[in-house]
Amino acid sequence: SYELTQPPSVSVSPGQTARITCSGDALPKQYAYWYQQKPGQAPVLVIYKDSERPSGIPERFSGSSSGTTVTLTISGVQAEDEADYYCQSADSSGTYRTVFGTGTKVTVL
């Protein structure tokens, strides 16, 4: 089955830049989406279609894509950015299934 792989954790100091990668064979053919989830809360979409930012999402959140890897970048990290982050994409094999990445815990030191 199709998988999206993320690092389990990323640690960053306030004001620095956090980069979270997501790898998957179908990513060159399918858009990626990124979600932020804080404890006890529902996920929130922070990036769609690889690099688009929904209204209301701070400009410090950005996305990029290169080959089989997509990256979520948080520039000038703030304490409130501490959360779990998940990438998500679609399986391109014709099964029309949605797949989530394994998730990355971002810790602000």
Partner 1 sequence: EVQLVESGGGLVKPGGSLRLSCAASGFTFSSYSMNWVRQAPGKGLEWVSSISSSSSYIYYADSVKGRFTISRDNAKNSLYLQMNSLRAEDTAVYYCARVLSDGMDVWGQGTTVTVSS
Asked if residues 37 and 44 have their Cβ atoms less than 8 Å apart, the reply is: yes
DSSP 3-state assignment of 81? Answer: helix
CB atoms within 10 A of CB 98: 11
Q: Which amino acid, 14?
A: P
Work out the burial of residue 81: count CB atoms within 10 Å of its CB; fewer than 13 is exposed, 13-18 middle, 19 or more buried.
buried
Tell me if 85 contacts partner 1 by CB under 8 A.
Answer: no
Which of residues 22, 24, 27, 35 is near partner 1 by CB under 8 A? Answer: 35
Which of residues 11, 13, 78, 102 is near partner 1 by CB under 8 A? Answer: 102
Q: Say how many residues make up the chain.
A: 109
Tell me if 64 contacts partner 1 by CB under 8 A.
Answer: no
Kindly tell me which of 18 and 35 has the beta carbon lying closer to partner 1: 35
Least Cβ distance, residue 100 to partner 1 (angstroms): 4
Residues that bind partner 1 (CB under 8 A): 1, 30-31, 33, 35, 37, 42-45, 48-49, 54, 84, 86, 88-90, 95-103
